[in-house]
Amino acid sequence: MNKHQSSLFLTEAVNRLLSDSELPASLTIEQSASALAMSMTSFRRKLTQEETSFKLIQSKFLNELCVKVLLTMQTKIDDLAIKLGYSERATFERAFRKKFGITPSQFRELSLIGSVESSYQKLTEIAENMPPMRDSCQQLLREKDLGSLDLSRVIEIIGKDVIFSGRIMGLASKAIYGSTPKTLEDAVGRKLGIDNVVNFAIVYAVQDALQEHVEQVIIDRYSPALLLAPRLFQCVRRLLVPDITFDIGLTEQVLVFSLLGIFLLSHKSTYKHEMMLYALQGIDDLHSLNQHIRESMAISLYSASSLMLSLWHIDASLVKQLNHLDKISRLRVKGSQQDELVLFMLSCLYFAAAGHTDFSALEQKAELLSIRHFDEIKQLLSELN
């Protein structure tokens, strides 16, 4: 984080108001501004400076409250329904079932299977026993670490792997510029780039290693999202006003690998694998999902990704950056502008991969981050549906 980073004082103040309210769904922006002794103009302006809004804060709070309460037996579902703004339990249950596919009571039962500690231990055990990567992937990583990986060597390595070669040609044909590649050299050199090919090799290695242990719907939804990440990054950089400097190579890695932990967390041998499937279906906000995972399994999505990557001895700087994102998410401090944009892009990838369709919150966030023409981002993300 840089010297301009600071705590989100007003955001936290609004969250405290919501937490203290008996009916947080009914709390209005006018009531919040008044409680904090601020004018509406100043209240809105300062929230905008923190790159958020009252509506976004309240929506995120209610989403997190809903799933957090269901992790324990302390609050009755009737009381939760009222807190969330529903007139009666039946209305809340219909809305919950529509989003999650099961009732709140069923979701609570799945959330309470196994202890938090045992869930974490099981995840670690699964990660430690993952099979080794394909030979081509190991060779790419080894030679990248040695600094001997150039275009001709990449072509030589992946040319011997028919499956990976076909995957690379397919990805290159979806690039957002230029003509369809006819050779591997065109696909890697002119379309994807060496670094992205190495990143994609790791994604496919994880997918192949867990193929029989993760529901096919998870593989089908999230693998394409990880592979789409570099194109989304390119699109967002073009739409930003003004331009912002990124470490492009590291940022591409972070975007490709941050959601990789979903595969580990959804492993059929975990105690809470069914809960995870329904959580992915019903929770449309990445931050809320991460909070839910942390509280139910003692690990975050970013930490789960780091766990797999570190056991495979992937770039330590990438693991460090994933841990940095986890710290921002955990402590609710304001990261750098680059951090906020990375989290926004990850939210976009998760939202679209999970099959959610109401982009209004993301569109509002894009505006706060000075990203123009959000429709172009929606168009790109539509490839995941």
Q: What is the DSSP string of 135-175?
A: HHHHHHHHHHHHT---HHHHHHHHHT-HHHHHHHHHHHTT-
User: What whole-number distance in Å separates Cα of residue 46 and Cα of residue 151?
Assistant: 49
pLDDT of residue 1: 34
Same domain, 120 and 203: yes
Structural domain includes residue 4: no
What integer pLDDT is reported at residue 3 of this predicted model? 35
Cβ–Cβ under 8 Å, residues 304 and 261: yes
DSSP conformation letters of 267-316? -TTSTTHHHHHHHHHH---HHHHHHHHHHHHS--HHHHHHHHHHHTT--H
Entry pTM: 0.88
The length of the chain, given as a count of residues: 385
In a domain, 53, yes or no: yes
Residue 51 domain boundaries? 9-111
Q: Is 316 exposed, middle or buried (0-12, 13-18, 19+ CB in 10 A)?
A: exposed
Query: Is residue 15 domain-resident?
Result: yes
Number of domains in the chain: 2
The neighbouring-strand residues paired with 371 are: 240
> CA–CA separation, 280 vs 286, rounded Å?
9
Are 65 and 128 found together in one domain?
Answer: no
User: 89 and 124: one domain?
Assistant: no
Regarding whether 299 and 274 lie in a shared domain, the answer is: yes
Q: Given 59, 82, 111, which residue is the final one in a domain?
A: 111
What pLDDT was estimated at residue 334?
66
Give the end of a domain, one of 65, 92, 111: 111
Domain CATH code at residue 70: 1.10.10.60
Whether 48 is covered by a domain: the verdict is yes
pLDDT at position 4:
35
The pLDDT value given to residue 180: 82
Helical (H) or strand (E) element with 329: helix 316-331
- Asked whether the beta carbons of 334 and 200 are under 8 A apart, the reply is no
Q: For position 333, what pLDDT does the model report?
A: 61
What's the angle, vertex CA 43, arms to CA 82 and CA 325, rounded to 5?
Answer: 75
Together in a domain, 76 and 120: no
Please indicate, yes or no, whether residues 57 and 26 belong to a single structural domain of this protein.
yes
For residue 7, what pLDDT is reported? 54
Alpha carbon distance 117, 49 (integer Å): 39
Domain boundary among 111, 137, 156: 111
Averaged over successive runs of 10 residues, the pLDDT of the chain (385 residues) comes to 52 93 94 95 92 90 90 90 93 94 94 89 92 89 89 93 91 75 90 91 92 94 94 95 89 95 95 94 92 91 93 86 89 79 96 92 93 95 89
> What CATH number is given to the structural domain containing 371?
1.10.3210.10
- Asked whether residue 239 falls in the same domain as residue 374, the answer is yes
Amino acid at 356: H
